[in-house]
Structure 1
Amino acid sequence: MKKNALLVLMFILIIFSGCTGGGNVTDTTLKPESGETAGTTVDEKSQPSARVSDANKIFSWELFKALNAEESKQETFISPFSVSAVLMMAYNGAEGSTREAMAKAMHYGGMSVDELNSEYRNLLNRLNNIDEKVKLEIANSIWIRDEFNVKPDFIDVNKNYLFSDVRSLDFTKPDAAFEINRWVSEKTQNRIQSVIDPPIADDVMMYLINAIYFKGEWKNAFDKNNTGEADFYSYDGVTDKVQMMRKTDTFALAELEECSAVALPYGDEKVAMAVILPKKDINKFISNFDGEKWNELVKSFKTVNDLRLEIPKFRMEYGVKELNKALASLGMGEVFSKNADFGGIAEDICMDSVFHKAVVEVNEEGTEAVAATSVIIMTTSLEEPKTFIANRPFVFVIYDTEEGNILFIGKKLYGDR
């Protein structure tokens, strides 16, 4: 039996080039706005696995906020975990003040490189096998210009801990970009087919790439016969139309001062999507949100029977988006400059660009049996059910329910246009 499936495709790309001139990105670290929790920190006394998870949650929201500040009127969709994973590959080659800047931005203070690599290996192993009913594939690769000398330790640690596929390639060949694009296409089930345009520039020495493919079936499917056209009150004041999925069932609901949220589990409930409805302006809500508030929200989920849920079907394509400015705003500007120290990889190289592209699609295929159950629940309830109707801008988060790692964050502002 097919159920509603969420399809997520994403790649993250870091380009390393020779650094002979000044960088074009400066460190413009964002200052916390009024109401923001600037002091969100990782408990250095906790176990490494919890500390890495906590660090990733803090970084997730900081990165999302930085991108949202750039594109407040655009829909956004990113994988913070994917960004963290590919930056961890680069972190293994960073030294001196460059490593310090990356550690500060990613909240790795107090954790050794060995601890970080060990925990990322555990995370990748667990996430790639998280649920038989959820397909989650996370893959890393390193592409090195033929005859460019990279230090063996950098290659070994990324192969052994981050499971990176390492390949040497003649970047001058006409089909070099095709080879890299083919790898990305394979890892995203042919949904993202081109990430690098030929020819490859002469000063590009290496690519670090992370690709994620996610496809999950809801634990409890929606019935497509209950899906119909509805109004969506978009961010720009226009009333759009959407195909609204409807279901009355048992869900986890959180009701806080700033927002309400519902959790929709996939498969065996190891992964879930939280749909968050801010009570006021969505961009102001995002600017004031952080890892601590995310933890509070997740802890506030309570089971509600007969919740009348309405969320739209949607497809979102984001990017190719350059992340340089957002990462610089978090304190990582040095990695893009001539002062970058990636001596653990090779001499005189820096990050040229960090790009990513993402596609998310909520697909729906219900069954008659599920529909009958849904109708029975809706028509036999003796009390007025609680409602959660996502007919206005909302944030959605796909997360690992066991350790809280945030796999994806998105912001939907508009209906079907």
Structure 2
Amino acid sequence: MGPVAFSKRRAVQQNNPKHPRKTWKSHHPDQSSTFLSGEPRVSTQSLNQVCPTTDPPTMAAADIRLSIAHQTRFALRLAAALSSPSAAAAPAANAAFSPLSLHVALSLLAAGAGGATRDQLAAILGGDGPSAAEGLHALAEQVVQLVLADGSGAGGPRVAFADGVFVDASLKLKPAFGEVAVGKYRAETQSVDFQKKAAEAAGQVNSWVEKITSGLIKEILPPGSVDHTTRLVLGNALYFKGAWTQKFDASKTKDSEFHLLDGSSVQAPFMFSTDKQYIASYNNLKVLKLPYQQGGDKRQFSMYILLPEAQDGIWSLAEKLSSEPEFLEKHIPMQKVPVGQFKVPKFKISFGFEASKLLKGLGLQLPFSPEADLAELVDSPEGQNLCVSSIFHKSFVEVNEEGTEAAAASAATVVLRSFTMPMDFVADHPFLFLIREDMTGVVLFVGHVVNPLLAP
């Protein structure tokens, strides 16, 4: 996720002309970062099985599975909102984002919230009951420690993740918030001068992101996104690079027809294979699972491509994913099958957006309003006047013959068809995709491809 900015409350907060909602493209691949910026109120199988540790678990296995299910529901609701015609992603554009990055950043924000603001954050993120916020922090601790640990040394995917808290030099973090941020989220804290040197402070945040992402994302805070009213920026950055278990032969890649939503078509580079693949076929839908090399890593990351039968079925599929919580889990391919015609397009997606409007549409209103209670962030009376001004997110995903580089259900029983003949999987029209860790079900990235030729 990108940054969350906190600002002083102003008399007028909505539709601030100084900070219009924007989408922008990154020229630096393979990452996701999210930042919340704020100002004193202006307008603006268990995880222990995945990666055992010597420390006792902070959550019971059943609680972790339930929390991850809530997290996945948040991810798919956000994906559906992002896929709607009125969202940041135009219907003719590819999109990708990291719901996990956003979830972690908002969970950290909840550590500095109180009262109804904290409860609303917990509810939208999947918490329930008086200890919901504590459950979010415990889940984040497990996810950061285990799912987001780098596995490249063991032959698995390279994963890099970091949290950052940037506070104005005139303020100090409340000890309780700092303890949660550093202890559970492993956040790095920095003091910066938003009041007198806002542009320089934004540069410090962007430099931090560039460092964490190995130069792949150089700017998460666009010009003018912070000013003298900004008091804190919460952010994180996520990088993922995995190689396919079965790599595609680049010499077999060739152009083929890809059908667009408007009925036209383009010639795009497709990867071909005759190897057995993890494919499941259902009414009006095929799902492909492409596992990443695991090595000695106990986690198992995979990319899933959800291909609707209808060439224009991508948006209704996104809505179904969002409205039926168990849909994804019920449509996971479980076994390899021989393939007939098999081709998947290569693609690159670089996508950035300001997320506050989407989150408000999902019911998260209070953190952005003059009624926000974020007093637990800083040890100052000024904390009574903080609200979130904006949430920036940027992601990059590239899929090619080698693998992926990325920065950034109904109650009815579904029966898998039994096939004796080879199964086709021809992704020659718009589709959804996601990257998840299969042992836990944690979704790292979600996106859609409507035209593989669109430049990032």
Q: Tell me which of 119, 141, 146 is aligned to 1:121.
A: 141
TM-score normalised to structure 2 length: 0.77
Residues in 2 aligned to 1:97 and 1:46: alpha-carbon distance in whole angstroms: 29
Residue 114 of structure 1: how far off its partner (Å)? 3.1
1:351 equivalent among 388, 399, 403? 388
Letter in 2 for 1:12: T
Cα pair 2:108 2:137 within 8 Å, conserved: no
- For residues 309 and 78 of structure 2, the distance between their equivalents in structure 1, rounded to whole angstroms, comes to 22
Q: Which residue of 2 aligns with 1:169?
A: 192
Aligned to 1:342: 374
Q: What code does the residue aligned with 1:397 have?
A: L
Q: Are the aligned partners of 2:31 and 2:240 in contact in 1 as well (CA < 8 Å)?
A: yes
**What is residue 423 of structure 2 aligned with on the other side?**
386
The equivalent residue for 1:191 is 216
The alignment partner of 1:402 has SS state of coil
Q: SS of the residue aligned with 1:331?
A: coil
2:220 & 2:400 partners in 1: Cα distance?
25
SS at match of 2:173: coil
Deviation, structure 1 residue 306: 4.1
Partner in structure 2 of residue 276 of structure 1: 306
> What displacement does 1:304 show?
1.0
Q: TM-score, normalised by structure 1?
A: 0.84
Matches within 5 A, 1:18-57: 18-20=40-42, 47-57=62-72
Structure 1 residue 197: deviation in Å? 4.2
**What SS class does the counterpart of residue 106 from structure 2 fall into?**
helix
1:257 is displaced (CA, Å) by 1.8
SS in 2 for 1:332: coil
> Structure 2 CA distance, aligned partners of 1:343 and 1:258?
50
C-alpha distance in structure 2 between counterparts of 1:402 and 1:176, whole Å:
40
Q: Distance in 2 between matches of 1:90 and 1:240?
A: 44
Q: In 2, distance between residues paired with 1:337 and 1:77? A: 28
Following superposition, the deviation at residue 267 of structure 1 comes to 1.0
CA-to-aligned-CA distance 1:10-32 (integer Å, 9 cap, x gap): 110100111155x6xxxxxxxxx
SS of residue in 2 equivalent to 1:249 = coil
The answer for the alignment partner of 2:282 in structure 1 is: 256
Q: Structure 2: state its 5+ residue gaps.
A: 1-28, 45-59, 378-382, 404-419
Unmatched 5+ stretches in structure 1: 1-6, 24-44, 367-382
CA distance in 2, matches of 1:51, 1:72: 33
Question: What is the alpha-carbon distance in structure 1 between the residues aligned to residue 395 and residue 132 of structure 2?
Answer: 31
Task: Give, in angstroms, the shift of residue 100 of structure 1.
Answer: 1.5
Q: Provide the rounded CA distance (Å) in 2 between the counterparts of 1:395 and 1:176.
A: 37
* 348, 351, 354: which one aligns with 1:322: 354
Q: Distance in 2 between matches of 1:68 and 1:99?
A: 27
**2:443 alignment counterpart:** 406
2:409 corresponding residue in structure 1: none
Does the aligned pair in 1 maintain the 2:30–2:395 contact within 8 Å? yes
The answer to whether the 8 A contact 1:234-1:415 is kept is: no
Identity of aligned residues (%): 26
For 2:293, the equivalent position in structure 1 comes to 267
Over residues 170-229 of structure 1, what are the superposed CA-to-partner deviations in whole Å (9 max), with x where a residue is unaligned? 223353222211110111121111122456401110111110111100011101001001
Find the counterpart in structure 1 of residue 267 from structure 2. 241
Q: What are the Cα deviations for residues 129-159 of structure 1, in whole angstroms up to 9, with x where unaligned?
A: 3633200111110111111233121111111
Partner of 2:327: 293
